């Protein structure tokens, strides 16, 4: 029977000399969940994935995977598979030969042979199954790495940026493979820099910043933690729109443009609660001003990420406009 928790980490720490890569990290991943690890460069994602794959031993804390306590040895319980940084492959062998060689090295617990061609088909590499890996693109290597991780039907898959280098179709295919796995009861932990990928794929995310967990939970909860967002407003009449904005209670007109805005002179940036933005729309329409665009300058998930990791300075607009 599957344990209810695929991963239970408490106070996991790891230092490299003076660098604290993981600082008392707690992580709970229920079985059957797709869980994302996200955070700025150097936040500790790869280190944590390495600990989960038995490639690094933590300096402190406890870790349980698939119901089995993980000790101090560089080893993981059976049923755990994946890769960090980039999948290890033999460049002179074909994709099929790579998988066959890896399958031969691993003894499956159930003794059944792996269907290498079925795995290549699943990750969309059937057409290049006979080509040497040295000619593969980054995206093709990622897909082959995923196929290699699927050898032996793992119950817990740990993947470092599995969508790295994939085109939109490839990304969709990898997402499908991962969601099918989770639907069948397997657990997936993956890192990504892309909030939109995580939103499309993950049940929950853990946000790391300088080795510490600053958020863990559903993505909806993460975006709800952000305060009022800056919104870009483009209308047919910016001068009159500016005057209308000043009449709306709780709505602020921000001077200057954000570093992410378009530089369009017709654009205004406003900040306020949702009700104030609704009120603004009603007033603009009543004044005969057409709205061409009203939307967050930074998507809500990204804004939450920037706020929680202390990296939002670059996107802060200038001061509130003084009343004229």
Ligand X SMILES: Nc1ncnc2c1ncn2[C@@H]1O[C@H](COP(=O)(O)OP(=O)(O)OP(=O)(O)O)[C@@H](O)[C@H]1O
Residues making contact with ligand X (CB under 6 A): 16, 19, 21, 39, 41-47
CB of 16 or CB of 90, closer to ligand X: 16
CB of 116 or CB of 190, closer to ligand X: 190
The Cα 297–Cα 314 span in angstroms is 12
Query: What is the separation, in whole angstroms, between the first and last Cα of the chain?
Result: 69
For residue 292, how many other CB atoms are within 10 A of its CB? 11
CB of 42 or CB of 132, closer to ligand X: 42
| Least distance from ligand X to the Cβ atom of residue 40, Å | 7
| Least distance from ligand X to the Cβ atom of residue 215, Å | 15
CB of 54 or CB of 296, closer to ligand X: 54
The Cα 297–Cα 34 span in angstroms is 28
> For the purposes of burial, counting CB atoms within 10 Å of the CB of 265, is it exposed (0-12), middle (13-18) or buried (19 or more)?
exposed
Query: Which has the closest alpha carbon to 52: 124, 131, 200, 160?
Result: 160
| Least distance from ligand X to the Cβ atom of residue 279, Å | 41
CA distances from 220 to 36, 194, 204, 208 (A): 13, 16, 9, 17
Strands 19-30 and 5-16: antiparallel
CB of 50 or CB of 79, closer to ligand X: 50
| Least distance from ligand X to the Cβ atom of residue 218, Å | 21
| Least distance from ligand X to the Cβ atom of residue 137, Å | 20
């Amino acid at each position: 029977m599957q344990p209810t928790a695929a991963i239970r980490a408490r106070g996991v720490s790891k230092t490299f000399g003076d660098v604290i890569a993981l600082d008392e990290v707690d992580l709970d991943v229920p079985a059957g969940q797709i869980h994302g690890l996200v955070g700025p460069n150097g936040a500790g994602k790869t280190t944590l994935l390495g600990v989960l794959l038995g490639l690094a031993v933590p300096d402190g804390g406890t870790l349980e995977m698939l119901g089995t306590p993980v000790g101090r040895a560089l080893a993981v319980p059976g049923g755990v598979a994946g890769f960090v940084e980039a999948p290890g492959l033999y460049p002179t062998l074909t994709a099929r030969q790579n998988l066959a060689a890896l399958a031969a090295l691993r003894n499956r617990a159930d003794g059944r042979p792996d269907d290498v061609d079925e795995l290549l088909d699943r990750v969309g590499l059937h057409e290049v199954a006979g080509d040497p890996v040295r000619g593969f693109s980054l995206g093709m290597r990622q897909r082959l790495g995923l196929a290699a991780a699927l050898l032996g039907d793992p119950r817990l898959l740990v993947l470092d940026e599995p969508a790295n280098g994939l085109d939109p179709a490839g990304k969709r295919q990898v997402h499908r493979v991962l969601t099918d796995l989770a639907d069948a009861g397997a657990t997936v932990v993956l890192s990504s820099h892309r909030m939109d990928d995580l939103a499309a794929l993950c049940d929950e995310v853990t946000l790391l910043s300088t080795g510490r967990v600053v958020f863990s939970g559903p993505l909806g909860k993460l975006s709800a933690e952000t305060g009022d967002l800056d919104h870009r407003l483009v209308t047919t009449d910016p001068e009159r729109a500016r005057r209308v904005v000043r009449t709306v209670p709780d709505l602020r007109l921000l001077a200057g443009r954000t570093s992410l805005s378009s530089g369009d002179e017709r654009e205004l940036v406003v900040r306020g609660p949702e009700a104030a933005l609704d009120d603004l729309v009603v007033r603009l329409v009543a004044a005969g001003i057409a709205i061409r665009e009203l939307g967050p300058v930074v998507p809500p998930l990204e804004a939450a990420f920037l706020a929680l990791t202390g990296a939002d300075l670059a996107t802060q607009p200038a001061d509130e406009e003084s009343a004229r």
